[in-house]
Amino acid sequence: MAWRRTDRIQMPGALFVKAPEIDPAHYIGLLQNKSIFFAELPVAQGLDWLVVFGAGSKDDALLLPHIPGATPIYQALPDCWFPVGTALDMPETVQVSYVSASLEQHNLTRLEVVIIPEFGDENTAHNIDVYAIRDQVMLGDILAEGPAL
């Protein structure tokens, strides 16, 4: 897949945090002392990453917390999230089928995914990291269970 940087004009629907040195529980702890409304935010997590999805109606801007170092992401394709300011470098008419075929090769069909291109100092990228979202839970449910994730 080829990727390119774009203007940062997409509406973010979630925040992605990659934190290899910090447990995602650290970021959940940061949100614990914020507005009670944040307890209603859906979240997904892996060993060293966290996605916090926005809340609100599709007609309005979504509510997202401020998380230092988080990457805003948008739903670019069905079940597929990209960082704001990035896009596939191919015609829109083939993007869905191309991404679907690529995910099928890696047994990631029927899962929501976050795709993070590795740009470095370039405006195009060919390498990506893919994070499969297997479950979403409400942030409040995680906070009620305690710090162990």
Task: Report pLDDT digits (tens) over 55-68.
Answer: 876 667 778 888 88
In the predicted structure, residue 24 carries a pLDDT above the cut 80: no
The three-state DSSP-derived secondary structure of the chain is CCEEECCCCCCCCEEEEECCCCCHHHHHHHHHCCCHHHHHCEEEECCCEEEEECECCCCCCCECCCCCCCEEEEEEECCEEEECCEEECCCHHHHHHHHHHHHHHCCCCCCEEEEEECCCCCCEECCEEEEEECCCEEHHHHHHHCCCC
What is the tally of structural domains in the chain?
1
Query: What would the pLDDT profile of 61-101 be if each residue is shown by its tens digit?
Result: 778 888 888 999 999 998 999 999 999 999 888 999 989 99
